Amino acid sequence: MRAVIFDLWDTLVLYDVEHSRATERRIAERLGTDPDQFHRVWRESRSERDGGSLADSFRSVGATDELLPELLDLRRNAFREVAVPQAGALETLRELRQRGLRLGMISVCSEEVAELWEQTPFAGLFDSTVFSCSVGLRKPDPAIYRLALDELGVEPGDAMFVGDGANDELAGAERAGMRAVLILRPEQDEPHWEEARGWQPRITSIPQVLELVE
């Protein structure tokens, strides 16, 4: 094993559903839109947002040029608040680097994540960071995995992918030639995602990755 590639949400950082909905409600309020209606529209447009411009997504739901900076700041501030590493994540990443492994991260995300990445506790710990919004690719497209592997300078068979299973990412990683590992929250028996249920191998904390690369 020469490299480990991580997912972001519900892998390195927990995805806080309530925090996300609260941010949506603040945005809906500024737009003068019903929060439930905004939630439906915003969810339906996620693939476009995760593959392109956040500003364009806001314009598509009625944001004016005058309001746009405020809405973008709401998203930026929301990401700053939730970009908290899971327990043991930073220590594990540093130990993997100490062992000589290359580290990558692939995230399906909107622009504020890529924009603010170097302000997070993860700054400087990865040899490759691939954000869907920046490259126009989403998991499980094989090309997004190949991009990370090329940046890391490793062959697929020498790399492990760790994720929570969203976006069919585990099967996508294996189709790209990597070994894929499911990470669950400790309280979970199975992942939310149907395509990842029953997946093996599985772990419940980031530090357990160290046992898989020995």
Q: What is the pTM of this model?
A: 0.95
Q: What is the pLDDT of residues 140-168, one digit of tens each?
A: 999 999 999 999 999 999 999 999 999 99
Distance between CA 206 and CA 87 in Å, rounded? 8
- Which residues contact residue 113 at a Cβ distance below 8 angstroms, ignoring those fewer than 6 apart? 8, 79, 107, 131, 133
Per-residue pLDDT of the chain (214 residues; tens, 9 = 90+): 999 999 999 999 999 999 999 999 999 999 999 999 999 999 999 988 999 899 999 999 999 999 999 999 999 999 999 999 999 999 999 999 999 999 999 999 999 999 999 999 999 999 999 999 999 999 999 999 999 999 999 999 999 999 999 999 999 999 999 999 999 998 999 999 999 999 999 999 999 999 999 7
pLDDT the model gives residue 39: 94
Residue 186 pLDDT: 87
Nearest to 163 by CA among 149, 151, 145: 145
- DSSP H stretches of helix in the chain: 17-31, 35-44, 46-49, 54-60, 68-82, 89-98, 111-116, 132-135, 142-152, 169-175, 209-212
- Classify burial at 120, counting beta carbons within 10 Å of its beta carbon; exposed 0-12, middle 13-18, buried 19 or more: middle
User: What is the distance between the alpha carbons of residues 62 and 68, in angstroms, rounded to a whole number?
Assistant: 10
pLDDT tens-digit profile of 17-28?
Answer: 999 999 999 999
Phi, psi torsion values for 159, nearest 5 degrees: -130, 150
At 93 the pLDDT is 98
Neighbouring residues of 49: CB distance < 8 A, sequence distance ≥ 6:
57, 110, 133
CATH 3.40.50.1000 fits 3-14+85-212, yes or no: yes
The pLDDT of residue 183 is 98
| In the chain, where the domains are located | 3-14+85-212, 17-82
pLDDT at 214: 76
- The predicted structure's pLDDT at residue 67: 96
Identify the pLDDT of residue 28: 96
